[in-house]
Amino acid sequence: MSSAKPSLDLKTVLIASGVVLTLAMGVRHGFGFWMQPISQANGWSRETYSLAMAVQNLMWGVFGPFAGMAADRFGTMRVVLFGALAYVAGLLWMALVSQPMLFVIGSGVLIGLALSCTAFGAVSGIIGRAAPLEKRSWAFGVSGAASSFGQFMMMPIEQQMISAVGWQQAFYLLAGLIFVAMIPMSFKLREPAHEHAHGQQQQTTGEALREALGNRSFLFLVAGYFVCGFQVVFIGVHLPAYLKDKGVADPGVAVMALALIGLFNIFGSFTAGQLGGKLPKRYLLSFIYLARSVIISVFLLAPLTPMSVYLFAAAMGFIWLSTVPLTNGIIAGIFGVKHMSMLAGVVFFSHQIGSFLGVWLGGYLFDQRGNYDLVWGIAIALGIVAGLVNLPINERPLSRPALQAA
């Protein structure tokens, strides 16, 4: 007899997870707009807010594997619902707390926890389980496009909120938006009891984790994702301040640049998902990382004008989160989908260590040197390393004779 059809509806999963990712990633990508107004209002150095964003990204990574384990074991709905409530609490904390270390710790932990439960790692498992093998790379690309649409949509909204009602009230409005929109979508992600493929049903979480950490290709993915986090979070948080320091006084240029990154990554993520079903994903990942180094180098060498900023944003945007569907596709292809969310969370932990260093070093080295030159140079060098590291990845599915014989 043929195996039963998947009981999860892919369209429902993609719509609900798309709304969750749109809000989770869209709100988070706009946090750079609050750096200067919060720092000025509280009399902080730029490093204080940068440290808060760094802790936030690090906690996102620390909680990621555990959120993934919970999603794989207890269902995505519960994890996303919990994450939405944590997101609301974190935004209110950022609005109300003015003591530096309390702000850093509270906002870092709450928003980091929220993102671990509402972003890629938490929802990747249900997407992988809902999508048939031939559509899996495409489905991951659609989810990546949804998060990019959130960035494109939310950048101008958040900047306008700050201008219209002030930075503090803008946090209140965003908390309300998360509450009324993300929580209902979480209930659409209810999963029936998982029906795993033959040969995977006996593997425990611990066995899956040890298997992955002992796999060379998985470790290469971990190394590459570190670089991805360093680059995108440094640019996302510090680009507005960098442009202002360089004499681009119009804040609309930074808003448009970050919006363009989101807009072009809608197409980039979808394209990466499409190509990932036809070409070796490792080669696509290598190309993306090397292309980032080239694009950053050209941006720094060219005369700085609004047009050069927009071209940089469009080029970077096309490959901004294109690593996500490819990386998740490789994980699902090698290890299967039973522990997909947990393994995606482990890889993403590396991404967030890179994010922590990128956003914190941006603020720290700026305060020490008065410019971002050294951090840009580090981002270029890391891109070259990541491009090389991804080339030897083996994408073939693992054979598990012991499990199959069980």
Distance CA 45, CA 210 (A): 43
Residue 142: predicted pLDDT: 83
H helices, E strands: number in the chain? 17, 0
pLDDT (mean) for 26-45: 84
Residue 355: predicted pLDDT: 81
pLDDT (mean) for 276-290: 92
Task: Give domain 14-191+205-396's CATH superfamily.
Answer: MFS general substrate transporter like domains (1.20.1250.20)
Distance CA 324, CA 48 (A): 29
Per the model's pLDDT, the better-predicted residue between 5 and 154 turns out to be: 154
Q: 3 pLDDT exceeds 50?
A: no
CA angle, residues 258, 115, 129, in degrees to nearest 5: 105
Q: 260 pLDDT exceeds 60?
A: yes
Residue count (the chain): 406
pLDDT digits (tens, 9 = 90+) for 72-116: 888 889 999 999 999 999 999 999 988 989 998 888 899 999 999
Residue 295: predicted pLDDT: 96
Nearest residue to 191 via CA among 12, 398, 371, 400: 12
Q: 4 pLDDT exceeds 60?
A: no
Residue 402: predicted pLDDT: 53
pLDDT digits (tens, 9 = 90+) for 125-181: 888 888 887 788 788 888 778 777 877 788 788 888 998 999 999 999 999 999 999
Please say whether the beta carbons of 290 and 382 come within 8 A: no
| Percentage above 90 pLDDT, the chain | 35
Q: 49 pLDDT exceeds 90?
A: no
Q: 246 pLDDT exceeds 70?
A: yes
Per the model's pLDDT, the better-predicted residue between 284 and 241 turns out to be: 284
pLDDT digits (tens, 9 = 90+) for 352-365: 888 888 888 888 88
Residue whose structure tokens are 């180094």: 293
Distance CA 170, CA 50 (A): 19
Residue spans of the domains in the chain: they are 14-191+205-396
Residue 171: predicted pLDDT: 94
State the average pLDDT for the chain.
85
DSSP letter at 371 equals: S
Q: 370 pLDDT exceeds 50?
A: yes
> Residue 78 is encoded by which pair of tokens?
């519960």
Nearest residue to 389 via CA among 280, 275, 279, 289: 289
Residue 71: predicted pLDDT: 87
> Residue 9 is encoded by which pair of tokens?
């509806």
Please say whether the beta carbons of 196 and 117 come within 8 A: no
Residue 208: predicted pLDDT: 86
Please say whether the beta carbons of 88 and 137 come within 8 A: no
